[in-house]
Structure 1
């Protein structure tokens, strides 16, 4: 057929493969099951953490060179532990899919390929996250409610940090330096910040807005008891 119609042999082979794949006749090949489409079990704790990472530093792309979309979480080289946690969560949520790391300048993209990314991350859409509405589906909110600390941890690991803040106080007539730990979460999206603070409220964590240069994009947790809870369940990036 290739010779008769002057069509590349590879094209004929691809057409044959596509036809066989649609009829499920490719030996040794199968589409991994989806928790939403096929009812496969989902590691909800890992998903809650991965959802937090996605809302902060992740996006779904579908390059023309690939027939399968990929979820990519960008992690700085400074925190190898974060990359390990991200990859572990991806493998737990997508146990039958391939996960890889792609090195970039100063960072690595942790990626997983799946045809069902849009099923599990319906917040995907055109444009930047802060320019569109970000609302959790009821099934996602139920998972976050069941695993709130994993969700908070994912958000902090993407767009948050734990720092040592300082101020000065008068003690016995002498001004002394006073240091204390503090968590920050910074995101331009009002919706994503609201998801973060709503979850903090449910956990009994005290927080406040920290406006910088007129931008209310920072959420601060500085109360001693709240920081202690955050240290227990989140901790600094590593």
Structure 2
């Protein structure tokens, strides 16, 4: 569709003044895609290279919210992944749709770690995908790579390990909120039924489970490994004092 040259000229002037594509499109009654193309052509004609704004702490030297990052790292290692390819760059955390508080917490964590990228939610069958759109999430999560996380080596870099060591409970909270749970088990002794709470963390990656158990050990929580069939995928915390410690710092999902 051809547009009046005067409208295009007006749009370009507004764009050069810093008006957003959306605002220009709404004011002039032009599709946003067309406005974006005009912006691109104008920059190209002036030899201007577009560099999107970023507040990535690794690239800009800005302060990183370390406790929040530790939590988000746990979420990422559990139920997160990064898409980084042409015109698609975002961090996704998948949350069970029933855990409304977890969905809010994931969105808030993304926003606090980097405030500039757009954060959105996408409803999927039985879950909600929380997305934050930026090419710089790979800077903060260098564990990103091809294939599933449990099929490749996962190791923290030195700066990440320093954050986890400084904020172990935030990291554990992220792991439990993603791939863990607090349940009530029961058993029968001397004809009486006894109930007791228990925490589980379940992940197919040996490396990620070790990150979990190493951190549990550092905070004084005793754990065991329970096999699923012949696979030792489940980390269990069942001792009364350790469950109480987990409750004080993590608690059940909500």
Q: 1:20 to 1:92 in 2, by over 3 A?
A: farther
In structure 1, distance between residues paired with 2:71 and 2:240 = 24
- Is contact 2:55-2:115 (8 Å) kept? no
1:61 deviation in Å?
A: 0.9
Partner deviation per Cα, 1:135-177 (whole Å, 9 max, x = no partner): 000000000011100000000000000000011112xxxx111
Corresponding residue for 1:194?
A: 210
Q: 1:227 to 1:10 in 2, by over 3 A?
A: closer
User: Structure 1 runs of 4+ off > 4 angstroms?
Assistant: 8-13, 18-21
Corresponding residue for 1:3?
A: none
1:37 deviation in Å?
A: 1.4
- Is contact 2:84-2:135 (8 Å) kept? no
Q: How many residues align?
A: 221
1:214 to 230, 238, 252: 230
Q: TM-score, normalised by structure 1?
A: 0.87
Partner deviation per Cα, 1:166-213 (whole Å, 9 max, x = no partner): 11112xxxx111110000000000000000000001000000011121
List gaps (5 residues or longer) in structure 2. 1-33
1:17 deviation in Å?
A: 3.2
Corresponding residue for 2:55?
A: 33
Q: Does 2:188 align with 1:161?
A: no
Corresponding residue for 1:44?
A: 66
Corresponding residue for 2:192?
A: 176
1:62 deviation in Å?
A: 3.1
Corresponding residue for 2:119?
A: 99
Higher helix share: 2
